[in-house]
Structure 1
Amino acid sequence: MTDIAAPVGQSDRIGEIDIVRGFALFGVLWMNVLGMGGFVVPEDKIHGLTQFETLEKVVGFWSHLLMAGKAQALFSLLFGFGFAIMMDRIGQRGGDGTKIYLRRLTILLVVGIAHTCLLWTGDILNAYAAMGFLLLLTRRWSSGWLLAAGVALATLVPLAVLVFYQMTTPAGQPPAFVALMEAGAESRWPIVMGRDYPAFVVAMFKALFIEFYSQPMMLSYFGWILGRFMIGSWIFRQGWVQEPRRYQMGYALTAATFIPVGLLLSVRRFIMQGIEVEPMEWATSLFRSLGAVSELVLAIGYGALLMLLCQIPAVRRALSGLGTVGQMALTNYLTQSLFFVFVLYGFGLGLLPWMGATLSLVFAVVVFAIQIAFSRWWLSRYRFGPAEWLWRWGTYGTKPALKRT
């Protein structure tokens, strides 16, 4: 008899999704390192390679243009897709996946909060779990409503929050949450570069839960996460990813349209800065909210391009390293933070001050290469990553077989 509550087997995995997830995870790693200045610590403390100023500017421009916010958007779409496929497969077996899904999210929430406080204040898992609970409410919505609400949340909520800050912030002053985060980053600098771990834990907690989640800006953050979840769930319902060879032309058209449009929306700020033009005051919030639109559009374009490339056997083999990392996404995401602690912070080598645009990219490539090698080695011997194995055990209540036979 088939266990209706059994986890998805390896044979049921969609290999292309693992590759896309691995790509997104590399982008998350890259942008997390690059974004520490101004978020975790003051931006002016990250001096980068001062002797190569032109190189820093060029790499920084292309880094922000191509990946800033896009990897997180792609990861969010994949979360929504994963929710839909999990509920669908359990439903096909005649079961109700709600209890399983709630247990899965509860574990993720606990892991995310612990990860936030103990290692990395930029943790995304706690927010994903929180919005995942709300995503469950959309399970029986029609596809039309799901897409419409998802697009609205992912684009209009950020606009509404920006309008709120524009209306309530005195002219010439930064919004209150910006001043709060800048002061927090300044206070964290000696802690992050020091060796007082209890103080580090307190600082990580304050950074996320006091400086960010207690502010109205968090509504924008939650809105675009939930909206992207819903769009990812809608994409599953269309069946495009389940039969990739059938929709190759659609992938090609999507990539050829969404990537140029997304890049154009992303570059708008750099163009206006170059010609020294500022948007009219009434349009400032609208102009800034286009950032959320560009992230979503480019994420969809990147996903479509990768799905298309995966249909070429030689290219798929070349991308297989991304797939191994994607199969162990939770394990690899958590271990990236260990690299932060032991390489960038004062607990280890203390290299954070040099992590400008150039070395951020180098660091990300080196760490990700290590993760590809480790993931290949591990998956050749075991069926799941360590964190994935524990997560499945807690979710389904039965200990899954770990070793390959």
Structure 2
Amino acid sequence: MQEKTILIAGVNMAALKPDFVPRMEGLDALRGFALMGLFLVHMPELYELYWAHPATDPTQLLWHNIIFTTFAGKSFSLLALCFGVSFFIIMDRAAKRGVDFTVRFLWRLALLGLIGIIHGLWYRGDVLEVLALMGVFLVPFYRVKSNALLIAFGVFFLLQPIQIFQIISALNGAAWANKAPGFWTAATPEAYLTGKSLVETMRMNWVDGHPFKWSFMYESGRLSQILGLSLIGMVLGRIHFFSQPQRFIRFRLTVLAIAGLCAIGLSYGKPVLVGLMPTSETIFMPRSLWDTMLSGWFDLSLMTVLMMGFLCLYYGFAHGLLNLLAPTGRMTLTLYVLQSVIFVPVFYSFGLGLHATMLQSTAVLIAIPAFIIQVVFAHLWFKGFLYGPLEWLWRAGTYLTLKVPFIRKAAAN
């Protein structure tokens, strides 16, 4: 029997019901894995305060390097790719109901940006508002029918066209192109390290942390990378990469092997490649930018190894274990914010101020059980609820109604 469409105040009420189609648990689990990696980076990074006094002890440096080499720049990239997949799923499901979701999706992004701005007052490293802004640029690409063209656009942005332009300009003597990025020399605000006032910390997050974050995202090439990965994610959604995983067994293995070779090649070949870029005392940025680009491509190749390796195991013998991450992937927004709400006060001076004494090993060994607790919490939460709390609030705000089902038993009646 075909479901009857009910419109109230211009909202298709059927769209508010959860689980219209079976969830793509592989995507949820991958998103949960990315969240885990991001948390494992944030903890030894002491929520950005590590850079005020980096570790010098060889053992602690080893802990730091293992975590950062494995997850830093990779987990964030995975989230950006999953963001693109989710964008396609939302738009496609609406289109199948005969609804153009463009305006409402832009409103949804505005709400995400607002959540990010509020979260950014607590923790300057918030990425939600960055994803919200870059999501706006995804909207026109949804109407591009050719997957090959979308992949070409994605690769174009992953190649860092702005940094390539700056390198060319710098080699030709342009003064602006040979200026060092601001985040290279930016000092950690004293309010984070020694101040005792939460209000002052929040003020500093706005007046200093906010522009610092956007400067870093632009100058490091992260904005271009987010857009490129989101476009790739949109194509993965289109070809049913997560909804029909059995079709892509050979594809996953092939990409895993290629990405592994690229990661190994970039890891060992980077010093030689960096040396190919000319440099001098006055024209020093081209080599630095080239180094940054190569590091970014190494991160992308290793991210692909992590992604395809995870999915090969997930759809193989490790399914039962890795699927434990799926509930965390369903409430990524809630857990991401909750992580900083709990742990920023642990490291910042308005709280416990442990940034100066917390060892890298200690931070990691705290992070592991802390994330396990989050996994248990997510499993228990979804026994009684249909969405994470912030996910429900975001969905209710998207449709401008409180009629979005939330409590599981109430939805079943």
Work out whether the TM-score is over 0.5.
yes
Range with bigger deviation, 21-30 or 281-290: 281-290
Q: Choose the corresponding residue for 2:310, options 303, 306, 311.
A: 306
**Which runs of structure 2 are paired with 1:209-358 in the superposition (5 Å)?**
209-213=210-214, 217-218=218-219, 220-266=221-267, 280-281=277-278, 284=287, 285-312=289-316, 315-358=318-361
Query: Quick check: 1:157–1:224 contact (8 Å CA) kept in 2?
Result: no
SS in structure 1 at match of 2:43: helix
In 2, distance between residues paired with 1:386 and 1:58? 38
**CA RMSD for the aligned pairs?**
2.9
In 2, distance between residues paired with 1:100 and 1:355? 44
SS in structure 2 at match of 1:34: coil
Q: Choose the corresponding residue for 1:88, options 76, 82, 92.
A: 92
**Which runs of structure 2 are paired with 1:30-69 in the superposition (5 Å)?**
30-36=40-46, 40-41=48-49, 43-47=51-55, 53-69=57-73
Find out whether 1:107 has 2:150 as its counterpart. no
**How big is each residue's C-alpha offset from its partner over 1:228-265, in whole Å with a ceiling of 9 and x where there is no partner?**
11111122222222211221121122222213422542
> 1:174 offset after TM fit, Å?
7.5
> 1:193 offset after TM fit, Å?
4.2
Query: Quick check: 1:328–1:385 contact (8 Å CA) kept in 2?
Result: yes
**Change in 2 beyond 3 A, CA 1:143/1:170:** closer
SS in structure 1 at match of 2:15: coil
Code of the residue aligned with 1:16 in structure 2: it is: G
Query: Quick check: 1:120–1:204 contact (8 Å CA) kept in 2?
Result: yes
In 1, distance between residues paired with 2:117 and 2:375? 26
In 2, distance between residues paired with 1:219 and 1:65? 17
In the alignment, what sits opposite 2:400? 397
SS in structure 1 at match of 2:381: helix
> 1:278 offset after TM fit, Å?
5.1
Q: Choose the corresponding residue for 1:18, options 28, 33, 36.
A: 28
SS in structure 1 at match of 2:223: helix
Q: Choose the corresponding residue for 1:131, options 129, 134, 142.
A: 134
**Change in 2 beyond 3 A, CA 1:288/1:220:** closer
Query: Quick check: 2:138–2:230 contact (8 Å CA) kept in 1?
Result: yes
Code of the residue aligned with 1:323 in structure 2: it is: A
In 2, distance between residues paired with 1:219 and 1:69? 11
> 1:16 offset after TM fit, Å?
0.3
**How big is each residue's C-alpha offset from its partner over 1:62-89, in whole Å with a ceiling of 9 and x where there is no partner?**
2232212011111100001110111111
> 1:95 offset after TM fit, Å?
1.0
Query: Quick check: 1:33–1:355 contact (8 Å CA) kept in 2?
Result: no
Which 5+ residue runs of structure 2 have no aligned equivalent?
A: 7-11, 280-285
Code of the residue aligned with 1:281 in structure 2: it is: P
**Change in 2 beyond 3 A, CA 1:41/1:205:** same
In the alignment, what sits opposite 1:364? 367
> 1:42 offset after TM fit, Å?
6.7
In 2, distance between residues paired with 1:148 and 1:231? 9
SS in structure 2 at match of 1:123: coil
**Change in 2 beyond 3 A, CA 1:259/1:55:** same
**Which runs of structure 2 are paired with 1:99-178 in the superposition (5 Å)?**
99-117=103-121, 119-141=122-144, 142-157=146-161, 159-160=163-164, 163=167, 175-178=180-183
Q: Choose the corresponding residue for 1:27, options 37, 40, 64.
A: 37
Range with bigger deviation, 132-141 or 239-248: 239-248
In 1, distance between residues paired with 2:329 and 2:383? 15
**Change in 2 beyond 3 A, CA 1:255/1:42:** closer
In 1, distance between residues paired with 2:304 and 2:236? 10
Range with bigger deviation, 66-75 or 28-37: 28-37
- When the two structures are superposed, what TM-score results if normalisation uses the length of structure 1? 0.86
Code of the residue aligned with 2:183 in structure 1: it is: V
**Change in 2 beyond 3 A, CA 1:235/1:279:** same
Query: Quick check: 2:181–2:219 contact (8 Å CA) kept in 1?
Result: no
SS in structure 2 at match of 1:362: helix
Find out whether 1:387 has 2:390 as its counterpart. yes
Give the total of aligned pairs.
388
In 2, distance between residues paired with 1:170 and 1:384? 48
**Change in 2 beyond 3 A, CA 1:354/1:19:** farther
> 1:218 offset after TM fit, Å?
4.4
In 2, distance between residues paired with 1:356 and 1:373? 26
Identity of aligned residues (%): 27
> 1:45 offset after TM fit, Å?
2.4
Q: Choose the corresponding residue for 1:9, options 9, 14, 18.
A: 18
Range with bigger deviation, 59-68 or 87-96: 59-68
In the alignment, what sits opposite 2:283? none
Query: Quick check: 2:49–2:355 contact (8 Å CA) kept in 1?
Result: no
Q: After TM superposition, where is structure 1 displaced by more than 6 Å over at least 4 residues in a row?
A: none
